Amino acid sequence: MINADYSGREDVIKAFILAEFLPGEDPEALTSTTPLIITGVLDSIATIKLVAFLEETFEVSIAAHEVGVEHLNTIDAMVVLIAAKKSQGAP
């Protein structure tokens, strides 16, 4: 599943999360598998902000049923969601 876009997308998402939701935190502490929703890093407002960022940045449309732990709890899950949408010709 890893392709040339994976690392780039992961880096962009990580930078956004660090800047918006974890300012001042050690960037090394945020990994691609760090749980974000279940640990409270992302609350409902932050999740909406993240979805808007993902849609605008990666030119995809994220459906309401995709906004949750399954698709947004980790950076890995977000990258997989974006890759799936891109392969489907999303938005």
Can you give the pTM of this predicted structure?
0.88
pLDDT tens per residue, range 29-74: 999 999 999 999 999 999 999 999 999 999 999 999 999 999 999 9
d(CA 41, CA 47): 9
Does the pLDDT value for residue 89 go beyond 90? no
The CATH fold assigned to 4-16+33-87 is: 1.10.1200
- The mean per-residue pLDDT over the stretch 1-17 comes to 78
11-20, 41-50, 79-88: the lowest-pLDDT one: 79-88
**pLDDT on residue 88:** 80
Domain residue ranges in the chain: 4-16+33-87
**pLDDT on residue 3:** 45
d(CA 63, CA 51): 10
Q: Is residue 32 a contact partner of residue 75, using CB atoms and an 8 Å limit? A: yes
